[in-house]
Amino acid sequence: MKELWDLYITYAKIGVMTFGGGITMLPILQREVVDHKGWATEAELMDYYAIAQCTPGIIAVNTATFIGHKRKGAIGGILATLGVVTPSLIIITLLAEIIRRFSHLPVVENAFAGIQVCLCVLIFDAVMKLKKKAVIDKPTTVIYILVLLGSVFLRISPIWFVLLSGLAGVLLKNREVKGK
């Protein structure tokens, strides 16, 4: 029972700090779920996050569901999911009214501009940490460069990048194993 409560509370804390969408929760997830709680490894977190991007729904909710389910089965998935959405429901309800009343004020517009810059830095930091763990050899370097170039020059769904990267990983790693 204690771990179920811990799942809910931990994801409620994550939910409170997740501004700007699912990608911004990556550094917070890494700190809480991997570093502090040890509920997943960095590799597992990257896998869950990649799958969460490909599946219908909100990335934060999908990732919470995967990790909660890993820890305590279906009830763990449900409680982690409820934990991550509860703060959002409360905060969004309150903010919707405030924004409706004050969005035209320059101070509000400037605050949002500053928050967006901060989120860019947090996302970049999380990406660089994940890159160090993910890009470890020639095959993963090739995949990284191709996806980076593809995301800059092509306007296709991220699902295709994830699917094609998975296929490329299988093909390149199998080729590497056969070459030894």
Residue 1 pLDDT exceeds 80:
yes
Same domain, 10 and 85: yes
pLDDT tens, 8-27?
Answer: 999 898 888 776 666 677 78
Do 113 and 14 touch, CB atoms closer than 8 A? no
Q: Which residue has tokens 């990257």?
A: 46
pLDDT tens, 61-73?
Answer: 888 899 999 999 9
Tally of domains in the chain: 2
Residue 57 pLDDT exceeds 80:
no
Range of the structural domain that residue 99 is part of: 2-132
Task: Name the average pLDDT for the chain.
Answer: 87
Same domain, 127 and 158: no
Same domain, 126 and 142: no
Q: Exposure pattern of 9-28 as b/e (b: 16+ CB <10 Å)?
A: ebbbebbeebeeebbbbbbb
Same domain, 71 and 92: yes
pLDDT tens, 140-164?
Answer: 899 999 999 999 999 999 899 999 9
pLDDT tens, 93-142?
Answer: 898 888 888 888 899 889 988 988 998 998 898 889 889 888 998 888 99
